[in-house]
Amino acid sequence: MRILTVNVNTTESMTESIAESARKVAEPGVDIVGLTPRFGAPSCEGNMESYLAAVGVMDAVLSYDQPFDAVIQAGFGEHGREGLQELLEQPVVDITEAAASMATFVGRSYSVVTTLDRTVPLIEDRLQLAGLLDRCASVRASNTSVLELEADENAAIQSIVAEAQLAIDEDRAEVIVLGCGGMAALEAAVREQCGVPVVDGVAAAVTIAQSLVRLGLTTSKSRTYAPPLPKDLKGFPLS
């Protein structure tokens, strides 16, 4: 089994970090391949960057020339998963929905701790679209940018823990969801300090993707995710 983990930004070191986190939970015999878009922003922290990332992710997957069984879209918030599902029969798992879904199995309510405050509405909209917002106690921002997660891991952990503790104490969250693919390596540290289950979206997505493949489930091509209509897309950047 081969699973593609596609970073939504163009920072190669983050792609490697995401892929390495995915490998830690992958079953024996599962090949994890990290992909980086060839165009886009170094970090996605707003609507324009996220919409650009959606095209970059589609391009990265369509450019991959080896067989694969599933795709993980490793960006928290809105990055156009539905477009990728129209293009593929293989399962496509978004880490936002994967993490939130997993959290509902181990607690009545969950809170998301993300990076900057400007990304909070994007995450709330994605959760609402997925039907997962009702169980969400809050979406809190740690005010740590995506790139700062790599630059100073200890500082990032402390800012995430501070918001997670507020979510537990004030918002009555019972589970914490890490709201950024770049937070994948921080799960254990946050769990140890907060004392509640902590869900990393990359790990959750790998677990779900493996299960879908083993069950023989593919993306439905009836109506919603039917293949795009054949058209001449003038100047479209996709490979």
pLDDT digits (tens, 9 = 90+) for 103-126: 999 999 999 999 899 999 999 999
Three-point CA angle 106, 111, 112, nearest 5°: 115
Task: Identify the weakest region by mean pLDDT among 28-37, 56-65, 87-96, 139-148.
Answer: 139-148
198-200: strand order across its sheet: 136-141, 110-114, 175-178, 198-200
Average pLDDT on 42-66 reads 93
- pLDDT at res. 239: 57
155: helix, coil or strand?
helix
21 vs 84, 155, 196, CA distance in Å?
Answer: 23, 20, 20
- pLDDT at res. 187: 83
- pLDDT at res. 180: 84
Confidence of residue 156 (pLDDT cuts 50, 70, 90): confident
Confidence of residue 154 (pLDDT cuts 50, 70, 90): confident
Q: What is the pTM of this model?
A: 0.92
pLDDT > 70 in the chain, percent? 97
Residue count of the chain? 239
Q: Are 192 and 85 in contact (CB under 8 A)?
A: no
What is the C-alpha to C-alpha distance for residues 124 and 129, in angstroms, rounded to an integer?
9
Confidence of residue 175 (pLDDT cuts 50, 70, 90): very high
Q: What count of other Cβ atoms lies within 10 Å of the Cβ of residue 192?
A: 11
What is the C-alpha to C-alpha distance for residues 52 and 152, in angstroms, rounded to an integer?
27
Q: What count of other Cβ atoms lies within 10 Å of the Cβ of residue 237?
A: 11
190: helix, coil or strand?
helix
Average pLDDT on 192-217 reads 96
Radius of gyration of the chain measured on its C-alpha atoms: 17
Q: For the chain, how many helices (H) and strands (E)?
A: 9, 8
The domains located in the chain, with CATH, are: 2-94+203-214 (3.40.50.12500), 96-201 (3.40.50.12500)
What is the C-alpha to C-alpha distance for residues 39 and 117, in angstroms, rounded to an integer?
25
What is the residue whose two structure tokens read 């939130």?
100
Confidence of residue 101 (pLDDT cuts 50, 70, 90): very high
Give the residues across from 34 on adjacent strands.
Answer: 5
Average pLDDT on 204-212 reads 97
Q: What is the mean pLDDT of the chain?
A: 92
